[in-house]
A and B are shown apart, each in its own frame.
Chain A
Amino acid sequence: MKGILFTFALLSPIIGGLIYGLERKFKARMQNRQGPPILQPFYDFFKLTDKRALQVHSFHSLMGIAFFVAAWFAVFALLIGPNILIAIFLHVLALLFFTAGGFSVKSPYSVMGALRELAHILAAEPILVFAAIALYLSTGSWNIEGILTSNTVPILQMPLLFCALVLTVPILLKRSPFDISEAHQEIIGGAEIEYSGLFYEAVYTAKWLEYIFIGVIVFLFGGSNYLLGALLVAATFLFVWLLDNATTRLTIHYMMKFAWGILLPLAAFNIFWVAIWR
């Protein structure tokens, strides 16, 4: 088990890239387009390696690299570390570098993107913490191996929380209707705008790791039933891609109201109910 998880963590940028490629393909098919090849993210990756790097200043570029390294480390901590709660906070640490990079340049779009990224953290982080607590509540373990080998299936106890988590995925992955911090037509990528060449490559790859991070958390809701877990992940991503195609961007206020007014109570209610019901 440990070996598989370690290999998975090691390969996570590649798998994340494949998921991103799949996403672009699926979204194109949903729009009745042919779409790019599935390996397209890797083509982009290789092309970016061969570009001349421009930078605003070295601090900013380093933060991009730190974002990638820290995001990968968060995935490692999630997959082989003994505590998923720590992994969630390490993920916030990775986002800290991303926002620090965004804040560090005198570019309006970048700073605006970083500020909106903070709103994303504010909206999504409590729900992720709730998800970890829910997993602990139903399986009695903070450890990924413990969750994967427990007898219970967390989603059966936590259906509402799972719904909340699925609706948080667009907030984490910055997909429509909550692609507020990226907002390509509005602030041109937000905090990632000033990166270029190799440095953009780091940020680009770090974003693939987010798929792995959220995917694993969704997978854990299948408990020891891996087939169910895989189905949940597939269903979640397909739903998010459909949602991305079908909706338009909402405002930051709406996102906060939605996350705090609907998702959080939903998740909290589920956890409290399970706690009291026992």
Chain B
Amino acid sequence: MIAAEILASILLPWISALVIYVLNNHRVSVFLTVLNFVILTIIGLHLWFSVNNPITLHPPHLVDWLLLVYDYGLLLYFFKQGIENRNPLVSVLAVIQIFLLSWVVLIRPHSEVPNIYIDKLTVFMYLIVGFVGSLITLFATRYMQDENPVREGEFVAILVWFLGVMNFIVSVNNIEWFFALFETTTLASYLLIRFRGDTVSVNNALLALWMNQIGGITILLALLFAIHKYGITHFSQFGEHTQLALFPLAFLSAAALVKGAQMPFHRWLLGAMVAPTPVSAILHSATMVKVAPYLILRLSPFIKGTLLAKLIVVFTGFVFVVTALLALNETHFKRILAYSTISLLSLMMLAGTIGTPITITVALMLIAFHAVAKALLFLEAGVLEKRYHAKTIYDLKHIINKAPLTVFFILVGFLSMTMVPFAMFVAKWLMISEMSELLSKASYIITVAILAIGGAILTVLYLKILGLTINRDEESFRVKIEKLPSLYTIPNVIYVVLILIATLFINTFLVYFFAPITQSIIGYIPPFCEGLSVCIKNLQLPFWQIIIAFFFVVFFPIIAHYIHFKTDRTAEYSCGEPVKPRISTYNMVCLNKVSTYFESISLALFVLVLVIGGGML
């Protein structure tokens, strides 16, 4: 039964993608994406309750050979793309990959270790992909109606297929398979980014391609070394060796850092925004970049406390602060979101690398709620683009006069990433507290500073954008709530409701949802207590504070829309001048000077992670 469910959650998106592609019909796409949403979520929930111990599956050997053939085909396709688009780098990297892959195939031992390994972390990723990702594909069906109805089938098919690939990659145990699927996600993102087909899209797609190929190469190097020294071919075998060299772990982590678009490799994620907006939504929230924290969490028990972990903490901490700072200088709405994704991804990886029960829980919370919040924000970015032609934050000025509901959604999305009492705030708060706890034991001392500074920067960043949207001069009750196509609104409403419910019942989620996953990753449960108040050891966030803060953040904006004070109205003060002011915002242009230094430092740190973390010195 469980095996069938796992098979279904992997294969259903592949099959429905094929059907959508072949039929290319709007109704069929909508039906199938809704079906995906329902079935994947139900399967995820059911698996959640049934998978208590890790489940292993042995697919037939045929799959192994099929994947190998597919892999060669894929790499040849990359090679061909490099030739066709006159990008020698892509071709060279593809050749290197083919060479390394062949080497792996030659020396790999015969292994009877199961190739599919399902634990709670996997099911957790299924739930995110199924719940958050499917809704994005549903949104995409309507979005393509506005953009290019002819190619709707193709576009939605790739998105849905992406979900299937993602479900597959989090289930595999075999590192070689992991590599194949890693490159498949690269392929999917490549196809999506170049979807519009203009020069900029193609260039950015090639950028994403070669950067992610570097990640593939590091996986292959790690695998080669692991096979050569220890005969390890599967993730689950890492636990069997006590004296493990850090080299393979460092190179696998490097693949995660590349996939997570960390600083020297951040440009591919920024470039991805030239594609239609659902692409950004799906890359940032449910798929692609989430492979990075997933991989780090998989490796976390093995790298915890090593020099490699400390280097990754320094590196991700640096990227966390720096990308948040660089986002302050951006004006393009989607670029700002991209920078904040990179920033939060590094926070997730930082938390995952430290590897205490609480930080692992924090990483999981960040993965889950960041996925929801970013999906919400990117879908809103899509709505803004298509309905209000707003791309930069300056276009967002006074948009509350046209679209109060959209502004409310953006508000929830932004505040949920930073403000009391939302779930991601609880995660950051737990993180700061846990780091202070570690600080009093004099370990990871620098992270406290990183968290305090980075958190403040992100808060200011979000408030800056919100400020532009709510600028207005008319009473709000006169503004009609905008009517949007229901396929635009429904996914967003579901996300918002999920965010709000998770905020109110955060402790229930912590105890019954996140704590078991933490247990399945590192073996023991963080001591959360029952009830509605968050409490763990000497930390407490009482329910009355959650509920009052919730009232402030959520209900005040809603009340503000309907309330009308019966007093005199007057114009804004402008020294008596009748000039209509032009409102804008500031950018930290001074950061332009230092951004290249930031990149150089992060490149140096990345090399340090590889060289010193990998034990090559």
Instruction: Name A's B-contacting residues (CB within 8 A).
Output: 52-59, 61-63, 66, 69-70, 73, 77, 81-83, 85-86, 89-90, 92-93, 96-97, 99-100, 102-111, 114-115, 118-119, 121-122, 125-126, 129-130, 133, 136-137, 140-143, 146, 188, 193-194, 197, 253, 264, 268, 271-272, 275-276, 278
Contacts and interface: CB of A to CB of B under 8 A. Distances in A.
Contacts of B539: 83, 142
A89 B431 CA distance: 14
Most A CB atoms within 10 A — which of B436, B468, B474, B586? B436
A121 B432 CA distance: 18
B508 interface: no
A123 B247 CA distance: 41
Interface in B442-496: 442, 445-446, 448-449, 452-453, 455-457, 459-460, 463-464, 466-468, 470-477
B568 A53 contact: yes
B48 to A, nearest CB: 30
Contacts of B446: 272
Closest 7 CB pairs of A and B: A103-B467, A107-B572, A82-B540, A129-B452, A53-B567, A125-B456, A126-B452
Given A104-B472, A122-B457, A276-B445, A137 B440 contact: yes
Contacts of B590: 253
B439 interface: yes
Interface in B217-256: none
Contact of A121 (B459, B549, B568): B459
Interface stretch (B5-13, B25-33, B555-563): B555-563
A126 B453 contact: yes
Nearest to B443: A275
Given A52-B568, A82-B542, A111 B552 contact: no
B33 to A, nearest CB: 36
Contacts, number: 206
Contacts of B569: 54-57
9 contacts: A53-B567, A55-B568, A56-B473, A56-B572, A58-B563, A90-B549, A103-B467, A194-B572, A276-B442
Contacts of A107: 572-574, 581
B464 A118 contact: yes
Interface in B403-443: 415, 419-420, 425, 429, 432-433, 436, 439-440, 442
Nearest to B449: A268
A141 B440 CA distance: 12
B564 interface: yes
B1 interface: no
B442 A53 contact: no
Given A63-B556, A81-B542, A142-B538, 20 more contacts: A57-B473, A59-B560, A61-B565, A61-B567, A62-B559, A89-B420, A92-B419, A93-B420, A104-B470, A115-B467, A122-B460, A125-B455, A126-B452, A126-B455, A129-B452, A130-B448, A136-B440, A194-B572, A271-B445, A272-B446
Interface of B: 415, 419-420, 425, 429, 432-433, 436, 439-440, 442, 445-446, 448-449, 452-453, 455-457, 459-460, 463-464, 466-468, 470-477, 538-542, 545, 548-549, 552-553, 556, 559-561, 563-565, 567-574, 580-581, 583, 585-586, 590
A209 to B, nearest CB: 15
B440 A56 contact: no
Contacts of B572: 56, 105-107, 110, 194
A262 B540 CA distance: 32
B474 A57 contact: yes
B420 to A, nearest CB: 5
A151 B559 CA distance: 47
Nearest to B556: A66
Given A63-B560, A126-B452, A115 B473 contact: no
A96 B462 CA distance: 10
Contacts of B471: 103-106, 111
Contacts of B585: 115
A96 B476 contact: no
A125 B460 CA distance: 10
B570 A96 contact: no
A57 B553 contact: no
A253 B591 CA distance: 12
Contacts of B548: 73
B439 A57 contact: no
Contact of B442 (A70, A115, A278): A278
Contacts of B440: 136-137, 140, 275, 278
B472 A57 contact: yes
A133 B477 CA distance: 44
Contacts of B586: 115
Contacts of B568: 52-55
